[in-house]
Amino acid sequence: MALAVKKFQARWPTSKVELFESGTSAGFRQFCAGKIAIANASRPINSKELKVCSSNGVSFLELPIAFDAITVVVHPKNTWAKQISIKELAQIWASDAQGKVDRWKEVNNDWPDRALSLCGPGRDSGTYDYFNKSVNGKDDNSRSDYTASEDDAVLVRCVAGNVNALGYFGFGYYNANRDRLRALAIAGASGPVAPTIANVQEGTYLPLSRPLFLYINDKQLTENKALRNFVTMTVANGKGLAQAAGSIPLPASTYRLVESKIFRHVTGSSFGGDLPVGLSIGEALRRSFDQHKLPQFR
């Protein structure tokens, strides 16, 4: 989005766009209160947020903009962990692990008897919600005795500065810091799968891959020409922007579908307040465009 703002202001220098960083949940609180025109989100809007938006008269467009792979990372000098299973992640991160699991060997007997230092998103992060739903069964089932931040740059430093650390955050921050971090493959029934662009696009990096979204205030989009220019420019250039940022782009044909949601004025969420995990990218995208099937949008 920082790249999108830069590109937009180069083309329309008299229009100003302010970009603020927060967790997804904090962004939705501002968005559903009508205080901001756009909320970037690393998960779909949930049922509680839908009710708040509705009670405040905030209708919106839900636009998938890129893919993400929640990436589990360690220090490059960690010589013992190459892959990790969802079961092992649950042993580490579930709420009942607090105060009990604090050494690597307690997770896997092949790992050394060394302190385990954890770094992860805070409760306002959509990554926190999605990871815990995927790994621990509920979006709020997480231990709290770890270094927490909604700023992924803080989490990068947390892992990069400690050989005994393990953390998780979005693929873009891992991709930008490959020289300081090492990603763990996720071990599954078909073998370990690394967080790569190809594996996410092919739907094999599960359950920790997900679409990323823009939520746009419908009324402001209609009334504010500069906002509409910004949104349409961002979506039209979505693939190039995602690639330039080191993120995982949608297929080019999908960005055209996203543009059609804007031009056909398709409002509301395709996810009904649910937080689906374990969907392939194809399934997630089909669900993202369910509204197109409604008679009024045919």
What count of residues does the chain have? 298
User: How many Cβ atoms sit within 10 Å of the Cβ of residue 28?
Assistant: 25
Domains, the chain, ranges and CATH?
2-67+210-297 (3.40.190.10), 71-194 (3.40.190.10)
pLDDT of amino acid 293: 72
Contact 198, 56 (CB under 8 A): no
Specify the pTM: 0.88
Tokens 């009990």 correspond to: 100
pLDDT of amino acid 174: 96
- Among 87, 102, 89, 80, CA closest to 146: 102
DSSP sequence for the chain: -HHHHHHHHHHSTTS--------HHHHHHHHHTTS-SEEEESS---HHHHHHHHHTT--EEEEEEEEEE-EEEE-TT--S-SEEEHHHHHHHHSGGGTTT--BGGGT-TTS-S-B-EEEE--TT-HHHHHHHHHHHSSTT-----SEE-S-HHHHHHHHHT-TTEEEEE-HHHHHTTTTT-EEPEEEETTEEE---HHHHHTT-S-SSEEEEEEEEEHHHHHH-HHHHHHHHHHHHTHHHHHHHTT-BPPPHHHHHHHHHHHHTT--B-SSTT----S--HHHHHHHHTGGGGSGGG-
- Cα separation, 46 vs 74, whole angstroms: 31
For residue 12, give every residue at least 6 positions away whose Cβ sits within 8 Å of its Cβ, in sequence order, or none. Answer: 226, 229
Q: Which residues make beta-bridge pairs with 40?
A: 214
- Tokens read off for 64: 């998938």
User: pLDDT tens across 179-235, in order?
Assistant: 999 999 999 888 999 999 999 988 899 999 999 999 999 999 999 999 999 999 999
What are the pLDDT tens digits along the chain (298 aa)? 999 999 999 999 999 899 998 899 999 999 999 999 999 999 999 999 999 999 999 999 999 999 999 999 999 999 999 999 999 999 999 999 999 999 999 999 999 999 999 999 999 999 999 999 999 999 999 999 999 999 999 999 999 999 999 999 999 999 999 999 999 999 988 899 999 999 998 889 999 999 999 999 999 999 999 999 999 999 999 999 999 998 899 888 889 889 999 998 899 999 988 888 887 777 887 888 877 676 766 5
- Among 205, 215, 219, CA closest to 270: 215
